[in-house]
Structure 1
Amino acid sequence: MDRKELIRQIESYQSAYIEELAYKRRFLDLLSFDNCFERSLSFGHITASAWVLNPNRDAVMLLHHKKLDRWLQPGGHADGDEDVVRVAQKELSEETGLTQVKLLKDGIFDLDIHAIPARKADLAHEHYDVRFVFVALQPDEMKKNEESNDLAWIPLEQLDDYVAGEASILRMLEKSKHL
Structure 2
Amino acid sequence: MTQTASAASLLHAAVQDLHAAKRMQVERLPELVDTAGEKLAALIVQEGARAAAQAARIESAGVDAAGPRNLWMAGILDDADRDARSHEAGRLRDIALVGALRKGKVAEIVSSETAIALAAEMDDAAIGDVIQANRDEEIASDRALQALLSELTGISRPVFRPPADRPTRGG
Same fold, TM-score > 0.5, yes or no: no
Who wins on radius of gyration, i.e. which is larger? 2
TM-score if structure 2 supplies the norm length?
Answer: 0.28
- Structure whose residues are more often helix by fraction: 2
